[in-house]
């Protein structure tokens, strides 16, 4: 029989918001643990190597610990260093590389089963982010080895023909970095413009590169098939086929809503798939089960991010301690 560990609070997800919940729990004297399936702040770890945040450093702070940054906007490496220092400072009770498989509530208590052991808790916070599941295109050839839904750095694409799908921040960053490293870059964009939410200092850059022809772009277009050395695209002027070595399908990501549903949380039946929770307490339709961070927005992954969901931690912990 697996060992059972009992806590006031189990936090699922060791990202910045999960860590903020743990800090608030510690400050209120709760017996807590964070369960993280990967590395500390795993989503940030998997961001592109040279990604720059939209937010300024102070808006990424948690635990009232200053985030010192020389540049106006911090990058991935600085953020990882900051959150590692948060862990060093608070010595949060966290289990890394331990994946939560199921959460069930019986007789007023939660049972949390991981791939390592079992836990019981009076309360649970799900703060799992959204970077784990790509939004797939569902086109023939999407399974080929040359297709990736994640982008790390440009070097491997240098001097190759690279097609980038999407017009959001990740797509634009990848297009510009790959082009600057010598790649032949083509963008396929479903709408008629670069996403207005693209970082304001980057958007003119990519628009100028497209205007001058350095980066080719097909607007109002979609990939219809990916082949070993070609890609078929449906454009407003009809279907075309272009030569291709790599496809970066940076079409966005979504939370693991299936996991949330399996926990008993109601999900809206519209396209947003929004989980049910009380915004005044962050408690779901399951008493004692809370949501924090970007997962609260369902498919609207642009709605919540670190700087505006840090407050979820205090809201949740104040509600838990007020109920006890």
Q: Which CATH number fits domain 7-133+253-321: 3.90.1150.10, 3.40.50.300, 3.40.1280.10, 3.50.50.60?
A: 3.50.50.60
User: What pTM value is reported for the model?
Assistant: 0.91
Dist CA 79 CA 84 (whole Å): 8
Q: Is the pLDDT of residue 132 over 70?
A: yes
Residues 104 and 10 sit within 8 Å (Cβ to Cβ): no
Place of tokens 């750095």: 153
Residue 224's H or E segment, with its range, is strand 222-226
Question: What would the mean pLDDT of 59-84 be, rounded to a whole number?
Answer: 94
Span 15-53, pLDDT tens digits: 999 999 999 999 999 999 999 999 999 999 999 999 989
136-249: same fold as 7-133+253-321?
A: yes
Q: Say whether 90 sits in a helix, a strand or coil.
A: helix
If you ran DSSP here, which 8-state letter would residue 275 be given? B
Q: Is the pLDDT of residue 3 over 70?
A: no
Instruction: Share the mean pLDDT of the chain.
Output: 95
Q: Is the pLDDT of residue 324 over 90?
A: no
**Backbone φ, ψ for residue 289 (5° rounding):** -110, 120
Question: What would the mean pLDDT of 134-141 be, rounded to a whole number?
Answer: 95
Topology of domain 136-249, CATH: FAD/NAD(P)-binding domain (3.50.50)
| pLDDT for res 131 | 85
| pLDDT for res 1 | 37
Question: What would the mean pLDDT of 222-229 be, rounded to a whole number?
Answer: 98
Residue with the bigger pLDDT between 165 and 71: it is 165
Q: What percent of the chain has pLDDT over 90?
A: 90
Q: Where are the domains of the chain?
A: 7-133+253-321, 136-249
Closest CA to 321 of 109, 25, 10: 25
């Amino acid at each position: 029989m697996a060992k059972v560990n009992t806590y006031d609070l189990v936090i699922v997800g060791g990202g910045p918001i999960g860590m903020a919940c743990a800090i608030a729990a510690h400050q209120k004297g709760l017996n807590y643990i964070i369960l993280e399936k990967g590395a500390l702040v795993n989503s940030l770890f998997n961001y592109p190597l040279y990604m720059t945040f939209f937010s300024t450093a102070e808006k990424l702070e948690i635990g009232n610990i200053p985030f010192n940054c020389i540049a106006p906007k911090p990058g991935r490496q600085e953020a990882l260093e900051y959150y590692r220092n948060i862990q060093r400072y608070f010595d949060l009770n966290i289990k890394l590389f331990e994946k939560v498989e199921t959460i069930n509530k019986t007789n007023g208590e939660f049972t949390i089963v991981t791939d390592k052991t079992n836990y019981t808790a009076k309360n649970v916070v799900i703060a799992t982010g959204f970077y784990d599941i790509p939004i797939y295109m569902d086109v023939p050839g999407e399974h080929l080895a040359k297709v990736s839904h994640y982008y790390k750095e440009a070097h491997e694409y240098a001097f190759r023909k690279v097609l980038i799908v999407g017009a959001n921040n990740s797509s634009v960053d990848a297009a510009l970095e790959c082009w600057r490293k010598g790649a032949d870059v083509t963008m396929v964009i479903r709408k008629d413009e670069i996403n207005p939410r693209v970082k304001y200092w980057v958007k003119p850059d990519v628009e100028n590169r497209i205007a001058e022809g350095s980066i080719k772009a097909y607007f109002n277009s979609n990939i219809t098939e990916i082949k070993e050395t070609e890609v078929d695209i449906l454009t407003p002027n009809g279907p075309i086929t272009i030569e291709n070595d790599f496809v970066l399908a940076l079409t966005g990501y979504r939370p693991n809503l299936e996991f949330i549903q399996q926990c008993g949380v109601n999900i809206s039946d519209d396209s947003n798939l929004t989980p049910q929770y009380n915004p005044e307490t962050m408690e779901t339709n399951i008493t004692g089960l809370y949501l924090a961070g970007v997962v609260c927005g369902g498919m609207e992954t642009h709605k919540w991010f670190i700087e505006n969901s840090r407050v979820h931690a205090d809201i949740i912990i104040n509600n838990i301690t007020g109920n006890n």
